Amino acid sequence: MRDVQQIRELAAALRENLVKCARDPDVDPVHDTRTGTRRLQATIENLVRELPEGRAGATAREAAAATMQMLKRIRRAAGPVRDLDVHRKLLNKLTKRAIDLRPQRASSPECVRRRPEDLPVTESIAGGGVLETPQAGIRTALLEQQADDLDAWLKHRRDELAQELQAKAAASLPRLDKRVAALEAALRTRGVRRRKEKPPAVVALESFARLATEMQALHAENLHDFRKGAKKARYVAELAASGDQEAKRVGNTLKRVQDEIGDWHDWLVLAEEAHAALGDGAAELTELIEVERNRHFVAAMKTANRLRGQLVGEWLAVGRRPAARARSMSPQRVPSYMRRATA
């Protein structure tokens, strides 16, 4: 069975990264471990949808549920470590950019004014530019110190969580083998319901359409969950053969949604971490982080809404049975935002 082989390959890759995390939870194996759990879970979830209802598919369904529950535990251990790696990198880039843009002390006693269009938002003062004064150098020194303090806090937290991941990765290895073996056995004993296989691009678009129906209005509270759903659909597309250009194109579009929202969420959490680590006494740094958070939120919302309409429109347009699909999604049953997006 193709599905069993796919599960075996993904589980083997995940196992390899768990071994690496058990030895040394470095940046790359931590990232690959979290990604590996999501890829494997997306594959299993799509397989479960094809299982027969009732007793016929009960054994395979239970084995799939147990495997996905274990994958969730692994992901919860690897996820926070990976997030802290990303946040430390963001902080480093932000600080470096702020230092590179710091004003140079004027050679004459008079202050030099720079144009607002030459400055980042956080350096402008009421739209009138910023004076290159000695106080600007003090502000930069404060910013560097605050960034160093926050990075030390992030590193310490990362070290603590990495130790926990290291232990959980080692303990998860035999459990992963056991769960995957049980799932394979259940799938072989009672085969998946046979039906004409859909192209991976169509399966990915269907997964995204379910997500879009569940979350018809996007906002700050559900945007991250929307990203996670889009990521699952993307993995479905990426599991297709490398020569499937349509699946590759859909996967790339889903990745753009995922990346834009992910960027915003990273800045959001980094802002929360800055407040937790530094309190209210680090206005110079927290201001910069919050500006980035707000800017990325606007970009994420624009991208998510635009590409959601595009992908739902593609889903409505593809398939071998347009008449049946039109009946199942009649104008009365299609959410209003979908009708607007595809009009």
Residue-level pLDDT at 79: 96
Pick left, alpha or beta for residue 126 (phi over 0 → left; psi -120 to 50 → alpha; otherwise beta). Answer: left
What percentage of the chain has pLDDT greater than the value 70? 78
Q: What is the pLDDT of residue 36?
A: 96
**Least confidently predicted of 2-6, 296-300, 339-343:** 339-343
Is 90 exceeded by the pLDDT of residue 306? Answer: yes
Cross-strand partners of 113 = 131
How far, in Å, CA of 196 to CA of 125, rounded? 63
Q: What is the pLDDT of residues 236-276, one digit of tens each?
A: 888 765 567 888 899 999 999 999 999 999 999 999 999 99
Most confident of 21-35, 115-129, 310-324: 21-35
Q: What is the pLDDT of residue 240?
A: 65
Long-range contacts of 196-203 (CB under 8 A, 24+ apart): 199/240, 199/244, 199/246, 199/247, 200/236, 200/237, 200/239, 200/240, 200/244, 200/247, 201/237, 201/240, 201/244, 201/246, 201/247, 201/249, 201/250, 201/318, 202/315, 202/318, 202/319, 203/46, 203/236, 203/237
CA–CA distance from 188 to each of 196, 278, 321 (Å)? 19, 55, 30
Contact between 203 and 46 (Cβ < 8 Å): yes
Please provide the average confidence, as pLDDT, over all residues in the chain: 82
Closest CA to 311 of 233, 198, 235: 233
* C-alpha–C-alpha distance, residues 335 and 109, integer Å: 65
Mean pLDDT (whole number) for 28-48? 93
Residues 6+ apart with CB under 8 A from 146: 278, 282, 284, 285
Asked whether residue 333 carries a pLDDT value surpassing 80, the answer given is: no
Long-range contacts, 90-97 (Cβ 8 Å, 24+): 90/266, 90/267, 90/270, 90/292, 91/147, 91/150, 91/151, 91/154, 91/270, 92/151, 94/147, 94/288, 94/289, 94/292, 95/143, 95/144, 95/147
Give pTM, 2 decimals. Answer: 0.77
Is the Cβ–Cβ distance between 55 and 203 less than 8 Å?
A: no
CA distances from 126 to 121, 122, 143, 208, 264 (A): 10, 10, 21, 43, 26
| 220-223, long-range: CB < 8 A, 24+ apart | 220/297, 223/261, 223/264, 223/265, 223/300, 223/301, 223/304
Are 56 and 108 a contacting pair, CB within 8 Å? no
